[in-house]
Chains A and B, each alone.
Chain A
Amino acid sequence: AQSVTQLDSHVSVSEGTPVLLRCNYSSSYSPSLFWYVQHPNKGLQLLLKYTSAATLVKGINGFEAEFKKSETSFHLTKPSAHMSDAAEYFCVVSEGNSGGYQKVTFGTGTKLQVIP
């Protein structure tokens, strides 16, 4: 069975400082991993995805994530936070199964606050 754990429900950073949002996962197979961002009363927007190619994945808006199989982690980082980064972030694991269905599991989300 697959699962996702986002280790912090809230993270607060000052504008211009680095961002680290932590995600650990478990999966029976070789999973695909995603990070999405959600602004208030909006849908989820894809930031980046890992699909067994390069372990360091670059996404939109300066975000990147590193897949570490030995640590079963997929942490999201950004060198310098911007006010517009304040939102909720979701780590997602996905794997196919024998039933032909893409099983997707969402983390419970991390709310990022950016202080001016």
Chain B
Amino acid sequence: DGGITQSPKYLFRKEGQNVTLSCEQNLNHDAMYWYRQDPGQGLRLIYYSQIVNDFQKGDIAEGYSVSREKKESFPLTVTSAQKNPTAFYLCASSIESGTYSNQPQHFGDGTRLSIL
């Protein structure tokens, strides 16, 4: 079955350390997204990518970086500059991100990041 795979499910970060969250999709979707979820705040967009080798900052990109070298993969790095990284991170994809607003996003099962 097609879907989005996020790994690991749980991740711990030490002070000053960068960590990378994996997101892979086999839905042949063009657009991919990273969200951060904190209790009571809904989902906030970190980065998104509409095509390979292109990505754009979302609402809360500071302290994060991404790459999109392959259509299927959109890894997120949480850098040491992100001072409050403890959260639930969700990766999503959609068929396309253009002016067609009626395409739903498909989500992975998330990675929970905590500080040691």
Partners in one complex: yes
On A, residues with C-beta under 8 Å from B are 9, 31-32, 34, 36, 41-46, 49, 51-52, 90, 94-98, 100-104, 106-109
Inter-subunit contact A102/B40 (CB<8 Å): no
The count of chain B contact residues (Cβ–Cβ below 8 Å) is: 31
Interface centre among B9, B45, B107 (most CB of A within 10 A): B107
Q: Does B66 contact A (CB under 8 A)?
A: no
- B residues touching A (Cβ–Cβ < 8 Å)? 4, 6, 9, 31, 40-43, 45, 48, 50, 56, 88, 90, 92, 94, 97-110, 112
Which residue of B40, B101, B109, B112 contacts A96 across the interface (Cβ within 8 Å)? Answer: B101
Complex Cα distance A32/B104, Å?
Answer: 9
Interface contact B42-A109, CB-CB below 8 Å: yes
Counted as pairs of residues, one from A and one from B, with CB atoms less than 8 Å apart, the total is 72
Q: Are B100 and A96 in contact (CB under 8 A)?
A: yes
Q: Are B43 and A43 in contact (CB under 8 A)?
A: no
Contact of B102 among A9, A32, A100 (CB under 8 A): A32
Contact of B90 among A44, A100, A107, A109 (CB under 8 A): A44
Taking a contact as CB atoms under 8 Å apart, the answer to whether B101 and A95 are in contact is: yes
8 Å CB contact of A101 from B9, B48, B104:
B48
| Contact (Cβ within 8 A) B100 A43 | no
